Amino acid sequence: MSQERREAILAAREANKKLAELITKGTNYHEPVEVKGIDNELHKFEVSPMSDADLAELLQTTNVDLKDIGNKDKMASNMQFLQKGAAIVTGAPDVAKALMPMESLKLILKSFELSGLTGIPKPA
């Protein structure tokens, strides 16, 4: 193998390593969402997309099936889902404590939209 070829391979590996690090860290993409706080004022929060790992952990730790959101018989687990979900998508651990009831849902729905989690998945 020539020295030039070897250097090109090493450079490509380094570029791929940097790309992998960026992907692992995640992007900083976010969009603003206005929600009503317990002070009865509108507040703007930056919402980021949710990763597969975040969604899986959220569903597992709250024991919620997405089709059960809004089911009054599952209110406690739904509220836990909203609280934890809002923390994940905003990066603010206690954000739900400052919001009016169900405002966390607006944050989560925006994150789902940004993540491509709207509607029913279509077969490939």
pLDDT of residue 8: 87
Do 46 and 58 contact (CB within 8 A), yes or no?
A: no
For the chain, give every domain's residue range. Answer: 29-115
Do 61 and 83 contact (CB within 8 A), yes or no?
A: no
Structure confidence by residue, pLDDT tens digits, 4-54 = 988 888 888 887 776 677 666 665 688 999 999 999 999 999 999 988 899
Q: Taking 90 as the threshold, does the pLDDT of residue 97 lie above it?
A: yes
Range scoring the smallest mean pLDDT among 19-28, 51-60, 89-98, 112-121: 19-28
Q: Taking 60 as the threshold, does the pLDDT of residue 121 lie above it?
A: no
